[in-house]
Amino acid sequence: GMSSDDRADLFRYLPEAARERLYPMLAQAERNDVKRLLEFKEGTAGSVMSTEYATIRPDMTVSEALEHLRHVAPQRETIYVLFVVDEQRRLVGVVSLRELITAVTGSKVFSIMRREVISARATADREEVAALISKYDFLALPIVDENDVMLGIVTHDDVIDVIEAEATEDAQKVGGVEALELPYLETPVLTMVRKRGLWLVLLFVGQMFTANAMSHFENEIMVALVLALFVPMIISSGGNSGGQAASLIIRALAVGEVRISDWWRVVRREVITGLMLGGLLGVLGFVQVLVRAWFSPQEYRGHGMLVAATITVSLVVIVMWGSLAGSMLPILLKRLGLDPATSSTPFVATLCDVTGIVIYFAIAIFMLRGTLL
């Protein structure tokens, strides 16, 4: 038959009417089980846990515990880990099947059980539970209520499902789309429009700021049209480096490699990385400007070297700023309790576009005042 968590998942996705028709076909115990599991909110440990776990009492002898296991094993999802519960079904210890088999048959369970049990609340986020199981390499993690009463287990195979679901959700958010609840081909078109539209409008508004920033420097552009030629190259470099940094940090936060408290170390690394990457692009930009100035000197009115220096400095500053903004945004969102994955690449790119233009023209005005401008 189906395991309790899979059965509850099936019922969770069924329309109300279909659920009501199927309930009578289940045995009373299974029906109560499904209803109880469905009470837990989607995305919590309770929604992915199974109720088919093996429990033993602390006052049983080893031989009694083994005899009890023989009876219940066929209906249990896993018997390799045994949970020790008292009369109130409170979790007091854990024993592995190996420990039970190798123990002296007359000894009591409480003398061989481990009392420090790592467990999780049913209301905990499924992502946290998956992280615990991966970290400690558990076969099954016990799920308890606020009084430590045993409610269920989350097994290592559930974790694979959880990690896949969370990775899909994060990947969609990183692309600047709200997470889809259904597979792509089953998602209604209007839902798709709603989920993508909101982000597109937000990003569109962001780009309007870019246009406003450009119009603010209209005079400079009129005087030195040559500056406008490099706008796409410069701001996209900032957006790209920011997008890269954001992707790396979103992933590092998700797998626990980086914590909020590490923000200062991230800043140091990104400033250094940004300077080096900016320097690399700066050299390429410098060469490109000099080559153009060589072929069309009238555009540069003899100031090719100065323009080249302006482009180089702008690239270094903007790439460094992009790396910094891209890496800090996910950490800031996590600090505010939001999902870091929403600080998606398009969002970072738009932010870097607007600020990039301001930085570029500020540097140009500073360096070219009195010559080209």
182: helix, strand or coil: coil
Please report the DSSP string for 186-249 in residue order.
GS-HHHHHHHHHHHHHHHHHHHHHHHHHHHHTHHHHHH-HHHHHTHHHHHHHHHHHHHHHHHHH
Instruction: Tell me which of 179 and 231 has the higher pLDDT.
Output: 231
Maximal C-alpha separation, the chain: 99
pLDDT recorded at residue 83: 96
**pLDDT tens, residue by residue, 90-123:** 999 999 999 999 999 899 999 999 999 999 998 8
**pLDDT tier, 168 (very low <50, low <70, confident <90, very high otherwise):** confident
**What whole-number distance in Å separates Cα of residue 332 and Cα of residue 253?**
11
Residue 99, domain extent: 43-170
> Does 176 map to a domain?
no
Residues 265 and 364 reside in one and the same domain: yes
> Does 178 map to a domain?
no
> Does 97 map to a domain?
yes
Residues 111 and 208 reside in one and the same domain: no
Taking a C-beta distance cutoff of 8 angstroms, is the pair 212, 205 a contact? Answer: no
Helix (H) or strand (E) holding 54: strand 53-56
Residues 153 and 242 reside in one and the same domain: no
Residues 95 and 143 reside in one and the same domain: yes
> Does 20 map to a domain?
yes
* Domain harbouring 279, CATH code: 1.10.357.20
Last residue within a domain, chosen from 135, 170, 205: 170
* Sheet-wide strand order for 78-85: 53-56, 78-85, 91-96
**Tokens in use for 236?**
């996209």
> Does 182 map to a domain?
no
**What whole-number distance in Å separates Cα of residue 235 and Cα of residue 353?**
5
Q: Within 10 A of 175 (CB to CB), how many other CB atoms are there?
A: 13
**Tokens in use for 327?**
């890496």
Per 3-state DSSP, the chain is made up of helix, strand and coil in percentages (nearest 5) of 70, 10, 20
Residue 228 has pLDDT above 80, yes or no: yes
Residues 48 and 14 reside in one and the same domain: no
The DSSP symbol for 179 reads: P
**Burial class of 191 by CB neighbour count within 10 A (0 to 12, 13 to 18, 19+):** middle
Q: Within 10 A of 106 (CB to CB), how many other CB atoms are there?
A: 8
**pLDDT tier, 282 (very low <50, low <70, confident <90, very high otherwise):** very high
Last residue within a domain, chosen from 115, 143, 170: 170
Q: Within 10 A of 7 (CB to CB), how many other CB atoms are there?
A: 18
- Tell me the pTM: 0.58
> Does 88 map to a domain?
yes
pLDDT recorded at residue 5: 66
Residues 24 and 51 reside in one and the same domain: no
Residues 220 and 294 reside in one and the same domain: yes
**pLDDT tier, 350 (very low <50, low <70, confident <90, very high otherwise):** confident
Residues 111 and 23 reside in one and the same domain: no
Taking a C-beta distance cutoff of 8 angstroms, is the pair 152, 53 a contact? Answer: yes
Q: Within 10 A of 29 (CB to CB), how many other CB atoms are there?
A: 9
**What whole-number distance in Å separates Cα of residue 152 and Cα of residue 132?**
16
Residues 104 and 151 reside in one and the same domain: yes
259: helix, strand or coil: coil
> Does 180 map to a domain?
no
Ranges assigned E (strand) in 78-119: 78-85, 91-96
* Domain harbouring 51, CATH code: 3.10.580.10
**Tokens in use for 247?**
């992707």
**pLDDT tier, 38 (very low <50, low <70, confident <90, very high otherwise):** low
Q: Which residue has the tokens 């009373």?
A: 28
Q: How many domains does the chain have?
A: 3
CA 204 distance to own-chain centroid: 24
Residues 292 and 156 reside in one and the same domain: no
Residues 156 and 296 reside in one and the same domain: no
**pLDDT tier, 338 (very low <50, low <70, confident <90, very high otherwise):** confident
Residues 336 and 207 reside in one and the same domain: yes
Last residue within a domain, chosen from 120, 143, 170: 170
> Does 220 map to a domain?
yes
**What whole-number distance in Å separates Cα of residue 275 and Cα of residue 270?**
8
Q: Within 10 A of 347 (CB to CB), how many other CB atoms are there?
A: 22
The DSSP symbol for 341 reads: G
Question: Buried (b) or exposed (e) across 211-237, using 16+ Cβ within 10 A?
Answer: eebbeebeebbeebebbeebbeebbbb
Q: Within 10 A of 5 (CB to CB), how many other CB atoms are there?
A: 24
Percent above pLDDT 90 for the chain: 36
| Mean pLDDT to the nearest integer, 285-311 | 86
